[in-house]
Amino acid sequence: MQQDGYKKRLKTFLVITFTALLFSCGTPHVPTALSSLLERESIRVGTVYGAATYYNGAEGPQGFEYELLAGFADYLGVTLDVYPFYNYDEMLQQLEDGNLDIVATGDAVTSQLMARFDYGPRYQQVKQQLVFQAGTARPRSMQDLEAPVVSVTGSSQSFLLYQALENTNSEGDKNKLVTTEDSDLEELLQQVALGDISYTVADSNRLALQRRRYPNLAVAFTVNDAMPMAWALPRNQDDSVKAALIEYFGTVHQSGWFTVLEDKYFGHIRQFDYVDSRAFNAAAEHTLVQYEALFKQYSGDLDWRLLAAMSYQESHWEPDAVSRTGVRGLMMLTLDTASDWNVDDRTDPEQSIRGGSRYFASLLQRIPARIGEPDRTWMAMAAYNIGMGHLEDARILTERQGGNPDLWVDVKRRLPQLRQKKYYRTTKYGYARGDEALTYVENIRRYYDSLVWLDEQGKI
């Protein structure tokens, strides 16, 4: 993985800085929280299940918070022991009692929590938003709520909501908060989408992930803006672990690995299109069945769902689709590409899928071997849209401007420059609609995420 490559390249630097850190944390005769953790050779972390935090995927543990935590454990040279909790209060009590070293839930840091715990460096900011079902009456303020807001007991959202309701100075409004231990935030969002409950409050990260699955989740208003995210630490210990966290986050930001990780989980879902998401989910459930077997048959080493996501972006799974430039079929092949891959009829679904998948596989093989996944896939996808030559131009621009040409997160920022004269006149292949290639790839990433989820739910 590209992230692993980053860690290896930083290894020497980490050893030097961490050695210095150890000596600054205390003398060998005075045990510190960090030295105790190192002697134990493990770090104990409390968290909650979720797509943005921690879950067991097909390839093992995954999640934005999990990968950050795994990086910190590698940084310290210890094993990572993750303890998922179902009850926030119990988890926080375990941290207070010294049975956990860190709590990392992806939640915002509230004033109530800051009074109770110490915190590492802030690494993200999120909004807390009141969510309702699109098509129902939209509340504009707390006074407009027509039903209770349901939140997870002990979570940041429940505390912030209680504060907001308390500020209305209305006894009736204060009773509009219901907390539950039986559902997590992702389940509450699902319940809003299905109409089982009227409202919940969610942070912008989790909401962005869930809106791809449930497009009818709508934002009524923002309860709190720009809330910091950080890992909680016991208040009754020295600052040695906190100092290590400051060093760690400084390093991952400086190296660019944090940006890579953030783009992996959130970079393609920040923008949301309600109509497009609804149309895609409907097509996935009703149209994809006609071509699913062909995608599986010709996917080769590719994930068939990725190939299907590409096809939807290309043609919306319409075999007779034609673009303004004359490309045709489910995989929108040009005449030259069709000829290269023995496709006689571009509107024939089987021929189009066979030709498109083999062409894409050939592009993947042409991406430099040093580029890891998923970056090489996103770059090959961009090349499918604008050609390998233009992709190389974007990578050269990236390197000229001090970026990493082997990272999608850096290259995608330069793709739109291929449409700007002051940049494309310096490139080998000249003008290209690079901004469209960027949109192309990010759309496919969203469609692919949705297909994976729908497939896991048995809906396709």
Phi/psi for 406 (5° steps) reads -100, 5
Residue 54 DSSP class: B
Question: Please, which residues bridge with residue 54 across strands?
Answer: 50
| Cα atoms in the Cβ-side hemisphere of radius 13 Å centred on 390 | 24
Report d(CA 245, CA 438) in Å as an integer: 34
Indicate the helix (H) or strand (E) that contains 448: helix 434-456
- The Cβ of residue 325 has, within 10 Å, a number of other Cβ atoms equal to 7
Report d(CA 93, CA 95) in Å as an integer: 5
Catalytic residue among 314, 350, 373, 399: 314
Tokens of 214: 């449930």
Phi/psi for 164 (5° steps) reads -65, -40
Mark whether 314 is an active-site residue. Answer: yes
Indicate the helix (H) or strand (E) that contains 55: strand 55-57
| Contact by Cβ (8 Å): 249, 133 | no
Q: How many helices (H) and strands (E) does the chain have?
A: 21, 12
Catalytic residues: 314
